[in-house]
A = this chain, B = another copy of it.
Amino acid sequence: MHKGSIIVVSGPSGAGKGTVISRLLTQCRDIFFSVSVTTRGMRPGEVEGVHYHFISEREYDEILSADAFLETAEVHGCHYGTPAVPVLNAVGNGHDALLDIDVQGASQVMARCPEAVTVFLMPPSLQELEKRLRGRNTETEEKVLKRLSNARREVLEASRYQYVIVNDQLDDAVEQLKAVILASRHRTQTNRDQLNQIISTFQA
């Protein structure tokens, strides 16, 4: 039975990660999207199980002490994490599991799951990123500057990823991410069982 792959996608805010991923998931229904947990409160517009699973500090601590997070982060005193169980279940059942996580989280997944496929979604330039962030018209100047400052730091991590996709044209970026995922399904390392089964017909 074919094993799925863990697909990590990172990229600075404004690179278009959310749009690329939601297009991809619409086109590839067999991909499992990992929903992170968080201990912070739900914000207006957020939906439990879609944007996050909202859990208590106690629930978070239980998962943490069971060493059952693929990655965790702390932001403004609130905890975030990717529980391992749903991801590993999906992969074990032959589905690719897509994780939309930041560079720090990705770094933890790379260490823990060296067979993960890692993709950095890159804006074409700082200028284009700034244009997109300001084009949203929903953010304060302070937030835009904060996101740009984070982006400056995050893009320096791109070379640690196996793949870099420059999101210049949305359709191209979606196709390219699809190709990375389709290709990953034929990696020798994730198809050892099927491969050995075929080889055995040759050695009989």
Determine if B191 and A164 form an interchain contact, defined as CB atoms under 8 angstroms apart.
yes
In the bound complex, residues from chain B placing their C-beta under 8 Å from that of A195 are 122, 158-159, 164
- Interface status of A170 (Cβ within 8 A of chain B): no
Given contacts A122-B195, A182-B176, A195-B164, contact A152 B202 (CB under 8 A): yes
The chain B residue sitting closest to A176, CB to CB, is B186
Contact A165 B192, beta carbon cutoff 8 Å: no
> Distance (Å) between the CB of A144 and the closest chain B CB?
15
Q: Which residues of B contact A122 (CB under 8 A)?
A: 195, 198
- Contact across chains for B163 and A204 when beta carbons are under 8 A apart: no
Main secondary structure of the interface of A (DSSP, over half): helix
| Size of the chain A interface, CB-CB below 8 angstroms | 42
Q: Is A110 engaged at the interface, CB distance under 8 Å to the other chain?
A: no
Q: Does chain B have a CB within 8 A of A179?
A: yes
Known A159-B192, A179-B179, A192-B159: A186·B199 in contact at CB below 8 Å? no
Is A89 on the interface with B (CB-CB < 8 A)? no
Can you list 18 A-B pairs, Cβ within 8 angstroms, ordered by A? A119-B186, A120-B188, A123-B198, A125-B198, A125-B201, A125-B202, A126-B202, A152-B202, A158-B188, A158-B195, A159-B192, A164-B195, A176-B182, A176-B185, A178-B179, A179-B183, A180-B183, A183-B184
